[in-house]
Amino acid sequence: MFTATTHIVTVVVGAGVLALAWAMAQLGWIAGIAVMILFACISVYTYNLVADCYRFPDPVSGKRNYTYMQAVDAYLGIIILFTLPIYSCAFIRID
């Protein structure tokens, strides 16, 4: 729960707050407010996804996942958990 709360705080108070004045100056009042509302809706949606990951598969009686690694293991399985970093590094590699 602490790690999820920490990530939520960094999303809300992170670099977006520092760039907010410049973004509003570039977009103007109407588009700036519209974009802020759009990203607020996206943030609420992702917060709900994180909350749904806490208990899986049932929100009331499901197994509790205390860490992100437990949630990934519950959703994707143990095989994907160990092979995913190997395959993702193949796509990121720079030659």
Cα three-residue angle 26-46-50, rounded to 5 degrees? 150
Give the whole-number percent of the chain exceeding pLDDT 70. 79
68 Cβ partners below 8 Å, 6+ apart?
A: 3, 53
CA dist., res. 32 & res. 2, Å (int): 32
Count of helix runs (H) and strand runs (E) in the chain: 5, 2
Mean pLDDT of the chain: 77
- Output the pTM of the full model: 0.56
Q: Treating both helix axes as pointing N-terminal to C-terminal, what angle do 29-54 and 15-27 enclose, rounded to 10 degrees? A: 150
Work out the pLDDT band at 95, boundaries 50, 70, 90: very low
Whole-angstrom CA distances from 50 to 4, 54, 55, 91 are 8, 7, 10, 26
